[in-house]
Amino acid sequence: MAIERTRLLDRRTQHRDAWLCVVVTEGERTEPQYFLGLQERGVLPRTRFKIEVIPPSPTQHDSAPNHVCQRADQAMQERRLVLGLDQVWLVLDVDRWGDAKLDEARKHARERGYGLAVSNPCFEVWLLLHHTDALEGADTAAECTRLLRQYLGSYSKAALQLDDFPAERVRQAAERARIRHPESSGWPQTPGSHVYRLIEPLLPPQLADPPSSR
């Protein structure tokens, strides 16, 4: 269902109360909880832009990279998105698809003007970076899940505990991920994530330290 746009954009003046950041995901459960939760909790600003997540259908088997691209194209049309005002991001994993299919998605994103945020091996490695930079051995989805449970005590893809990912840890994750994989194209060839490319520009500026009382 298309979002009502009248309060977001006056196309006669190009004046916008808020722009849309549309995140089209491979994952059905974890990614929507994470991205929407960041804005609902105020980690990402609630007034400057609106995040919308488009996950795969639980019945259509449309999580492959080409299907993610198709859902992004559909969102562009249905929501009347204007790139330059709005953003569209494809959020994908390495583990299930490999380089060939990811390269097709990269080319599609480049042609359309979409952002691409790939995690290796999976989105859980991005969640791990909120708590550690020690990703040695985190080269499978199963190992990433095991490490998350080690750091958090428990972890469920279907019931993300958003208190485990407060604002200061989101900033830490972005910094760690950027240092590990600073390249702006492609995707990480070792455990890591380009989700920082999506998140970092959306974070509000950090407040200056208060003046010393001395």
Q: Residue 214 pLDDT > 60, yes or no?
A: no
Query: What backbone phi and psi angles, to 5 degrees, belong to 67?
Result: -75, -35
Count of CB atoms within 10 A of residue 10's CB?
12
* Range(s) of the domain holding residue 181: 18-202
pLDDT on residue 62: 73
- At 119-150, the pLDDT tens digits run 999 999 999 999 999 999 999 999 999 999 99
Query: Is residue 2 in a domain?
Result: no
Mean pLDDT (the chain) is: 88
Number of domains in the chain: 1
7 inside domain: no
In a domain, 213, yes or no: no
Stretch 157-167: mean pLDDT, rounded?
Answer: 95
Give the pLDDT band (50/70/90) at residue 17: low
Contact 129, 191 (CB under 8 A): no
Higher model confidence: residue 74 or residue 17? Answer: 74
Question: Among residues 81, 72, 65, 55, which one has the least CA distance to residue 3?
Answer: 81
Q: pTM of the entire structure?
A: 0.87
**Residue 3 domain flag:** no
- E strands, the chain, are 9-10, 15-16, 19-25, 49-54, 87-93, 115-120, 192-193
